Structure 1
Amino acid sequence: MSKRAVLMMTFGSPEKISYEGVAEFFTNIRRGVRPEPHEIQTLYDNYVRIGGTPLQRITREEVDLVASALGEHASVYFANKFSRPFITDVIKEMENDGIEECLCLILEPHYSYYSVMGYEKFLESEQIRFQIIKEWYQEPSLLHYWADEIRNISDQIRDDSYKVIFSAHSVPVLALDFGDPYIDQIYDNTRLIVEILGLEEDQYTNTWQSESDIGIPWIKPDVLEYLRDEKEHPDHYIFVPIAFISEHIEVLFDNDVECKELCHELGVTYHRPPMPNSDSRLIKALLSTIQSHIDGDYCYFQPQLETFDELEAPSNTGKILEESEDIQMPDFVKKLIAIKGRENVKMPYLVKKMLEKKYGKKYD
């Protein structure tokens, strides 16, 4: 029998909450390009505001609990996408340990080209065959975790009016044009929780959060914009960031600071259920996911052929515009062409790679 491992991965976080510690982490996210000083300062200030981040501690607790439950069935390793221990370094460690098959469990329940694929591109080994779990948001234990915690809050609210705001990390609008499954999965995840709770249509909504300024439109409504645009508000808002499983900056700042402050301004009481973190219901969901995949098919992975780097510098992007009459372009690109003229518009690299992935036509 092959020597088998489970590799649990998460996004990462600054190793030191200092200006340079945040700068190093932010530079890793930008694939080696150091952000502007004001961008670093803003992110640093946000980390200071929330008192640092517990993400690494929480994730290691999750990993230890999974490892303890699996026992001798598989070795369990942990890696980050953008901070130590890096995925490539942990793969070398697994190779040195003689691992031959690796089940990859990314601690983000939904699959997106913008997030999960970003982990896949680091999975390269001539020794290890990989199997990648694409999504696991439908795990009953996770669904019931959220439903139970939302119900705990609504029971305390009693007869006051309330609305549940499900939120997820936004993705660029062009995801809709290229079949990224993430958006549908978020809505499906919401539907599954709502069915357990029996919520009426006017008792919940979906919003998006944490978008980045990279020069292209993002999925809306943004949660803060939604709150500002509402003409009438209930007595209570219950914020449920279902795209995340652990406390980190997107939850502790984007929800617990920005959303909470806006609720106070609007005269509405803010609520957020605790994140799953290392709760036994989450661990049960993780173990169920692992057990349903562990005996599946493993193969040698070729990330250079099966993934793309969404932040890689563009090359020869003019050619794709000249030859793109027969393929679907995002509306925002068409609008840019109409305004600026074709010769002045370059196809964003991410769009180019998605077109290649969807239509099997290579643009070099």
Structure 2
Amino acid sequence: MTQDFDPRSGYDQDGRMQAKAYDAILLASFGGPEGQEDVIPFLRNVTAGRGIPDERLEEVAVHYRTNGGISPINAQNRALKAALEAELAARSIELPVYWGNRNWYPFVNETLSQMAQDGHRQILLLGTGAYSGYSACRQYREDLGMALRETGLEGVVEVDKVRQFFDTPGFVNPFIDGLKQSLVQVREQLTERGNPQGRIKIVFVTHSIPMSDANAAGPQAQHESYSENLYTAQHRAVATQILAGVPEAAGLEHSLVYQSRSGAPHVPWLEPDINDALEADAADGVAGVVVVPIGFISDHMEVLWDLDTEAKDSCAELGLAFSRVPTPGTHTEFVGGLIDIIEERLLDAQGQPRRQGRISKVPGGPWYDVCPAACCIKPALDGTLRPTIAGVDSEVGVPNK
């Protein structure tokens, strides 16, 4: 990556942002209900503007109601926030960490208002999506763009965003550790069944998205390097890197599948669904599977329900041995890796960048700090575009705020 910055714009041709004296970090996530009475209001927030009746929402609500109406995601974000704070303190970085959600308390607008009330004016946003795409990146940029406008803080508070981190060792290495352990577990299950040499397949899984979103992921110029959409290509690259770190996986079959499809049946989404793929694997003679949820950073509801419940049940019905690799969560390397990419953006006490260069171990990274114009674009239902932070304004070619 070039290190030459345009002093007018503050970013280089590769979208790297100049280090700044940030005074706070905002951890932003999806949010989730924390009681039975929260479930439907939460789902209304998630589906706002789509006109979905409560009766339809109750079909999804069973996932949460089975778990007492509680999504684990909020507790996981509290744990991640605490781990980030501990790692910042260990590195003598005196930055407070705040937390705000897209769909449930604490809402990002409220958190941003609190940050401004506490005197913070230069904020660095850490979103909890690892890959490129609308939901994992641009929607966070829109959330903050809208929040600045709705709270009256536009022009008062500046918010930038750290880059997507799918390519970082801190994200990849925990999956390497988990895959090694899960392969042992599946082989033990097969041995107990009297089939120690049974075929094992490694099934990498991520969240399905509409094909329109997949084809819009990243800037259009980036698509020229791939034979498929960027969202899928990044996941395949991560899967390849994980496999390269696990000698025990050499020679084993692997695939990339999808989960958690929603929306109208006639709208094309990425396929195959994991349960359909498992059925095909069993019919093809596979004896056991290791499921690696590379699309997720924590064991939230979609992991617990779609994988630990539905996919696990599918394996039981099909006679497949099953083990699911943990998500990074608060793994020491993952937390340290997040602080590494935060440090890329910070100045030290002498006003110099704290970290020179950007760590990356997966092809396609490091990603942009400042997203190119029309990156992952997705108009609102009325055809309008929402205000965003941390992107390039297509008309003037400088970062928009």
Q: TM-score range by the shorter chain?
A: 0.7 to 0.9
Secondary structure of 2:275 counterpart: helix
Does 1:203 find its partner at 2:224?
Answer: no
SS of equivalent to 2:98:
strand
In structure 1, how many angstroms separate the alpha carbons of the residues matched to 2:132 and 2:216? 14
Change (3 A) 1:276 1:163: same
Task: Give the match's secondary structure for 1:171.
Answer: coil
Distance 1:217 1:85 in 2: 33
**CA pair 141-235 structure 1, distance change in 2 beyond 3 A:** same
1:292 aligns with 2:360: no
In 2, are the aligned partners of 1:139 and 1:288 still within 8 Å (CA)? Answer: no
2:204–2:257 contact (8 Å) kept in structure 1: yes
In structure 2, the residue corresponding to 1:115 is in which secondary structure? helix
Partner of 2:289: 237
Does the Cα contact within 8 Å between 2:298 and 2:327 map onto a contact in 1? yes
- 1:53 offset after TM fit, Å? 2.1
1:63 aligns with 2:81: yes
**Contact 2:84 2:335 (C-alpha < 8 Å) held by counterparts:** yes
Q: Percent identity?
A: 23
Alpha-carbon separation, structure 2, partners of 1:73 and 1:182? 35
Cα displacement (A) at 1:42 = 1.5
| Residue 35 (structure 2) pairs with residue 16 (structure 1) | yes
SS in 2 for 1:207: strand
User: Which residue does 1:150 correspond to in 2?
Assistant: 179
Residues 285-306 of structure 1 deviation map (CA, whole Å, 9 limit, x = unaligned): 222221123347xxxxxx9x97
Q: CA deviation at 1:258?
A: 0.9
Q: Is the 8 A contact 1:12 1:56 kept in 2?
A: yes
User: Which residue does the alignment assign to 1:323?
Assistant: none
CA contact (8 A) 2:21 2:346 kept: no
Shift of 1:61: 1.0
- Partners of 2:88 and 2:94 within 8 A in 1: yes
1:263 paired with 2:315, answer yes
For normalisation by structure 2, the TM-score amounts to 0.71
What does residue 202 of structure 2 align with?
Answer: 164
Q: Counterpart of 1:163 in structure 2: which amino acid? A: K
What is the CA–CA distance in structure 2 between the aligned matches of 1:88 and 1:132, rounded to whole Å? 16
Aligned to 1:121: 142
Give the direction of change, closer, same or farther, for the CA distance of 1:229–1:252 in structure 2 (3 Å limit).
Answer: same
Contact 2:202–2:252, Cα closer than 8 Å, also in 1 = no
Change in 2 beyond 3 A, CA 1:264/1:310: same
What is the DSSP-based 3-state SS (H/G/I as helix, E as strand, rest coil) of the residue aligned with 1:270?
strand
Higher RCO (C-alpha under 8 Å, 6+ residues apart): 2
Of 359, 363, 381, the match for 1:313: 381
Count of equivalent residues = 313
The TM-score, its normalising length taken from structure 1, stands at 0.77
2:260 matches 1:193:
no
Closer, same or farther in 2 for the Cα pair 1:267/1:184, shift >3 Å? same
Instruction: Compare the two structures and name the one with the higher helix fraction.
Output: 1
Q: Partner residue of 1:4? A: 23
Equivalent in the alignment of 1:246: 298
1:11: Cα distance to partner? Answer: 0.7
**RMSD, aligned CA:** 2.9
Once the two structures are TM-superposed, the CA of residue 202 in structure 1 deviates from its matched residue by 4.5
In the alignment, structure 2 segments of 5+ residues that lack a partner are: 1-19, 149-153, 189-195, 219-229, 348-352, 354-370, 386-391, 396-401
Distance 1:238 1:98 in 2: 48
Deviation string for 1:109-141 (max 9, x for gaps)?
112113321111121232222221231122213
1:181-226 deviations in Å (ceiling 9; x for gaps) = 4222111111111111143465211001111124510011111121
Which of 101, 106, 129 does residue 108 from structure 1 map onto?
129
Asked if 1:99 is matched to 2:120, the reply is: yes
For residues 378 and 48 of structure 2, what CA distance do their matches in structure 1 show?
A: 10
* CA apart distance, 1:312: 3.2
Matched with 1:131 is 160
Task: Name the aligned partner's letter for residue 81 of structure 1.
Answer: R
Indicate if the aligned counterparts of 1:233 and 1:268 stay in contact, CA closer than 8 A.
no
Unaligned runs of 5+ in 1: 297-302, 316-348, 351-356
Q: Tell me what 2:97 maps to.
A: 76
For 1:251, the aligned partner's letter is V
